[in-house]
Structure 1
Amino acid sequence: MQSWEKIGFIFRPDGRDPKMHSHATLPTAELVTGDVYRIYFSARDVQNRSSTFSVVVDLNRPQELLELNGRPLLEPGELGGFDDSGAMLSWITDAGAYGKYFYYAGWNLGVTVPFRNALGLAVVKDGCVVERYRGPVLDRSLTEPHFVGAACILREEALYRCWYLSCVGWEPAEPRPVHRYHLKYAESVDGLTWRRDGVVAIDFSYPGEYAIARPSVIKDAGGYRMWFSHRGEHYRIGYAESGDGIRWSRKDSEVGLTVSDSGWDSASLCYPHVFDHKGTRFMLYNGNEYGKSGFGLAVLR
């Protein structure tokens, strides 16, 4: 059984900046130096479009912001593109000489259904985007006809391994259709072209569960460990283990983190990003309303 201690709330936009009007979704940590981290997040503008911004914190006192970057690293893409309504950073992967691969969930609005997602890619060096691919690197296909979304990508020697959100369909409902998605697995030799064999990593555990999202995978001496979001009525953080990263055993009861009695994370916990720093394991996560209430930090004791 894990035991996560909540360090507390870190950040949410105050509504004064029209580009960073609300939400701080999908927090993602990147080491800067020492104990200092840059935390990327997706915020929405006054037109409800998503861009990726960042704050800088010291893990010794993370609730004191060292920097708030009001200039977005990733903004919505070109008109009609897969990401013209939003670009939400999902994962950062070391690409060697190329720099860092910033994989992001691009989304655009639909008509018969509210939206669809795909996985985009930007190449970042020294904190600047040096290339951004116009089309998605992972999208709906012959065997996945609806959409794919936020992913975790680990580079293991010459292989990129990806765990990603995959929509299995929409169900009619009022006031709008309801999506159903779980997590699948893919592989690539270059991080751009992916082999997808339909392998389900984390599947639905009961009929009322309809959304499994934002995987965060760590490989350590005991094998692979994954934290993720899952929901029926409300989002909670789940946990699974695997010996090979392909076949997973869900152990949600062992996650050791639950909602607070009141406040920003009292109704929901979602979108975890787990990372290790100097022998300690940390988790960034969102609270109520899909990140509208902001994000916080927890430490594994």
Structure 2
Amino acid sequence: MWKKKGLLFEVENYINDTIKSHAAIPFALHMNGDLFRIYFSSRNIEGKSLPYYIDCRVDNGSICLIGNPIGPILRLGNLGAFDDSGIMPSCLIRKEGKIFMYYIGWNPQVTVSYRLSIGLAVSNDNGITFTRYSEGPICDRSIEEPYFNTAPYVLLEGDTWKMWYISCTEWKIINNYPEPAYHIKYAESKDGIMWKREGTICLDYDDVAKALGRPCVYKKDDHFEMFFSYRNTDKYRTSKNAGYKIGYAESSDGILWNKLYQQTGISLSESGWDSNMMEYCHVFEHRGIEYMIYNGNDFGKDGFGYAIR
């Protein structure tokens, strides 16, 4: 079971000229020793998400933030580009002295609320500054995936880059508002840039999950484990029962997965910042202790907290 440690990054304590609300989709990157760097996105005065990081010390079951958030570390894309209205880091991975930051690019739409794509930025200075790999996305909608792709999680095994990502399958008008449904797919790459997508569905819809969000995947012993977000498509913004929760799944090969909701080990609190929603978690291990950083109510409006086990 996970033991909740409370709200770690409280947005209201860090409001500045660019950070006005939210701290969403946190990802903890190990730097050295007990030092980690948490990447996340916050919204500016226009409600557009931009990427930041804050350093922290992880030691004996506690996380202590150091200093103030740094950023934005990447500016919005050019007018009309896939990321001209929002950038949200989703996963970072080291390779040959570089850090690859896979991120979510946002565009507002007319008939539906938004369109999402997957972008890549690269750091050559140990994660302090990043440069776009390209003005266009590395994964976007296609003949086979006509709506959107988003929230990638990437692992490198040998020479194979593996990505679990969100694929939207449809939009529906629910209560006079367009709502998306999406599940989790799998892709591979030889260089982390050009991805081979074959439509492989890892986690699909069921009676519990009508939309499955941002996966977090890691290998443990001889199998893969995944924590993911799931919700209903109706009233998920207002109903505790329908809103985001965290789920768990296992796999022997990273492709065929078994959902084990009863083994997630963490649930909504009775009250407070994570009492209506829990989502967008990142799980990592340090010195024999597992840590989960995650968002709560209203998609990270209050910030992000953590739990240990």
Instruction: Quote the Cα distance in structure 2 between the aligned partners of 1:297 and 1:221.
Output: 24
One-letter code aligned to 2:35: V
Establish whether residue 273 from structure 1 lines up as the match of residue 285 from structure 2.
no
Paired residues in the alignment total 296
In structure 2, the CA distance between the partners of 1:175 and 1:11, relative to structure 1 (3 Å rule), is: farther
Instruction: Tell me the residue number matched to 1:215.
Output: 215
Report SS of the residue matched to 1:289: helix
Instruction: Quote the Cα distance in structure 1 between the aligned partners of 2:15 and 2:89.
Output: 22
Please report how far the alpha carbon of residue 273 of structure 1 lies from its aligned counterpart in structure 2 after TM superposition: 0.4
Please report how far the alpha carbon of residue 156 of structure 1 lies from its aligned counterpart in structure 2 after TM superposition: 0.6
Residues 101-160 of structure 1: per-residue CA shift (max 9 Å, x gap): 100000110000010100000011222214432110011000000000001000011110
Instruction: Quote the Cα distance in structure 2 between the aligned partners of 1:92 and 1:63.
Output: 19
Establish whether residue 9 from structure 1 lines up as the match of residue 7 from structure 2.
yes
Instruction: Tell me the residue number matched to 1:122.
Output: 121
Instruction: Quote the Cα distance in structure 1 between the aligned partners of 2:7 and 2:124.
Output: 30
Please report how far the alpha carbon of residue 58 of structure 1 lies from its aligned counterpart in structure 2 after TM superposition: 1.4
Instruction: Tell me the residue number matched to 2:67.
Output: 67
Please report how far the alpha carbon of residue 253 of structure 1 lies from its aligned counterpart in structure 2 after TM superposition: 1.0
CA contact (8 A) 2:58 2:64 kept: no
Instruction: Tell me the residue number matched to 2:235.
Output: none
Instruction: Quote the Cα distance in structure 2 between the aligned partners of 1:154 and 1:147.
Output: 21
Report SS of the residue matched to 2:130: strand
One-letter code aligned to 1:76: L
Instruction: Tell me the residue number matched to 1:50.
Output: 49
Please report how far the alpha carbon of residue 74 of structure 1 lies from its aligned counterpart in structure 2 after TM superposition: 2.2
CA contact (8 A) 2:213 2:280 kept: yes
Q: How does 1:1-150 map to 2 (within 5 A)?
A: 3-14=1-12, 16-60=15-59, 62=62, 64-97=64-97, 99-126=98-125, 127-150=128-151
Please report how far the alpha carbon of residue 56 of structure 1 lies from its aligned counterpart in structure 2 after TM superposition: 1.5
CA contact (8 A) 2:15 2:21 kept: no
Instruction: Tell me the residue number matched to 1:260.
Output: 269
CA contact (8 A) 1:9 1:63 kept: no
Report SS of the residue matched to 2:262: helix
Instruction: Quote the Cα distance in structure 2 between the aligned partners of 1:16 and 1:227.
Output: 30
Give the TM-score normalised by structure 1: 0.94
After superposing the two structures, state which structure 1 stretch, 183-192 or 125-134, moved more. 125-134
Instruction: Tell me the residue number matched to 1:172.
Output: 173
Please report how far the alpha carbon of residue 93 of structure 1 lies from its aligned counterpart in structure 2 after TM superposition: 1.4
Instruction: Tell me the residue number matched to 2:236.
Output: none
Instruction: Quote the Cα distance in structure 2 between the aligned partners of 1:38 and 1:194.
Output: 27
Structure 1's unaligned 5+ residue stretches are none
After superposing the two structures, state which structure 1 stretch, 267-276 or 57-66, moved more. 57-66
Fraction of identical pairs, as percent: 40
Instruction: Tell me the residue number matched to 1:293.
Output: 302
After superposing the two structures, state which structure 1 stretch, 8-17 or 154-163, moved more. 8-17
CA contact (8 A) 2:88 2:105 kept: yes
CA contact (8 A) 1:225 1:239 kept: yes
Instruction: Tell me the residue number matched to 1:158.
Output: 159
- Which of 250, 260, 263 pairs up with 1:251? 260
After superposing the two structures, state which structure 1 stretch, 182-191 or 59-68, moved more. 59-68
Structure 2's unaligned 5+ residue stretches are 233-241
Report SS of the residue matched to 2:71: strand
Report SS of the residue matched to 2:174: coil
Give the TM-score normalised by structure 2: 0.92
Q: CA RMSD in A?
A: 1.5
CA contact (8 A) 2:74 2:131 kept: no
Instruction: Quote the Cα distance in structure 1 between the aligned partners of 2:36 and 2:63.
Output: 12
